[in-house]
Homo-oligomer: A and B are copies of this chain.
Amino acid sequence: MTTAERLIESMHTLLWERGYSGTSPRAVQELAGAGQGSMYHHFRSKAGLAVAAELQMSDELKHQITARLDSGSTTREKVAAFLTLDENVLRGCRLGRLVQDAAVVDDDSLRAPIAATFDWIQDQIRQVLAEGRRNGELDPNLDVDDLAATILAVRQGAYVLARGAQSSEPFRRATQGILQLLPR
C-alpha cells in the first residue's frame, strides 16, 4: 500500500470509530505511520483526506449491500438480508454516524458523498420492492419509494438505539418489527 492509501485507510477507520470532529490529523498520521508533512503533501487538508475516505466507505458499502440484496430469492428474504445484524452493530453505520456531526453537515464537500450514497441505497431497495410488487409478493397499492426510505431508516435508527443501549438487542427488535409487517 502506498502512503496515500494508508492515510485513507486510517482516516476511514478513525472516522468510523471517532467521527469527523473526533479524529485529529495527528491520530490519522500515527495510525498510518506517516509524518505530518507527508499527509499534507498528499492531501490539502483534513477535510480533503476525509472526503477520500468517504468515497472508499461508499464503495465498500455499495458492494456489501448489493451482495445482500441479491442473496435472497423472495422480496422478503432480500429485505431481511439487508436488515440483518452485522458482526459489530455497536460501531454503527460509518456514513450515518457522520451526518450527526455539525462540521460534516456544514461542509458540502463532506456531506455530498454521504447524501449520494443514501440515495443510491434507497434506489436499490426501491427496485427490489418494485419487483416484488410486480411479482404479486407485495400489495400493489404500496408506495415503494416511501417504503424504501422506511427500510433504510429502520436500519439507521436501529444503529442509534443499539448504541444508546450498548446492546444489539434493540437492533434485532427493530429489524424484526418491520419484517413482521411484510407479507410472507
Interface positions of A (Cβ within 8 A of B): 17-19, 21-22, 92, 95-97, 99-103, 105, 111, 114-115, 118-119, 122, 142-143, 145-158, 160-161, 163-166, 170, 173-178, 180-182
The smallest beta-carbon distance between A183 and chain B, in angstroms, is 10
Is chain A's binding surface mostly helix, strand, loop or mixed? helix
26 pairs from A and B in contact (CB 8 Å cutoff) = A17-B102, A19-B100, A19-B101, A95-B164, A99-B163, A99-B164, A100-B100, A100-B163, A111-B166, A114-B164, A142-B180, A143-B176, A146-B173, A146-B176, A147-B180, A150-B173, A150-B175, A150-B177, A151-B177, A153-B154, A153-B170, A153-B177, A154-B157, A156-B160, A156-B161, A181-B181
Contact B163 A160 (CB under 8 A): no
Q: How far is the CA of A164 from the CA of B117 in the complex (A)?
A: 10
Q: How far is the CA of A163 from the CA of B174 in the complex (A)?
A: 21
Copies of this chain, complex-wide, total 2
Contacts of A102 in B (CB 8 A): 17-19, 22
Contacts of A170 in B (CB 8 A): 118, 122, 149, 153
Q: How far is the CA of A100 from the CA of B156 in the complex (A)?
A: 11
Q: How far is the CA of A165 from the CA of B21 in the complex (A)?
A: 20
